[in-house]
Amino acid sequence: MPLNTTPPFPGSYLPNKAVTTDLKTEYAHLRDELERLLTEPDKDFQRIDALVDQLELVQLAFKEQHGIKGNNPNE
């Protein structure tokens, strides 16, 4: 049986306070922070992993907001 990691209801990828923010702005902020961390000589891999997870949640929320499901742009 495949593991279903999709949240049970719409808008559940991010906490309620994050849903009200501008997702594009949040995504850009997280990308900037990730780039900064990746350019540092002493890498904080735990923080990098957490940022990548946050970026994924923002991306999924953005896609959900625009009615996109999955990775296939033809869906």
Rounded CA separation 48/51 (Å): 5
Q: Say if 73 falls within a structural domain.
A: no
Q: Say if 72 falls within a structural domain.
A: no
Share of the chain above pLDDT 70, in %: 65
Model confidence, pTM: 0.66
Q: Say if 28 falls within a structural domain.
A: yes
Q: Say if 13 falls within a structural domain.
A: no
pLDDT tens for each residue of 14-50: 655 444 468 999 999 999 999 999 999 999 999 999 9
**Domain containing 53: what range?**
18-65
The DSSP code sequence of 9-73 is: STT-SS-HHHHTS-HHHHHHHHHHHHHHHHHSSS--HHHHHHHHHHHHHHHHHHHHHTT--SS-T
pLDDT of 9 strictly over 50: no
Q: Say if 74 falls within a structural domain.
A: no
Q: Say if 12 falls within a structural domain.
A: no
Q: Say if 27 falls within a structural domain.
A: yes
Q: Say if 9 falls within a structural domain.
A: no
* Domain count for the chain: 1
Cα separation values, 49 from 1, 2, 34, 55, 75, Å: 28, 24, 9, 10, 29
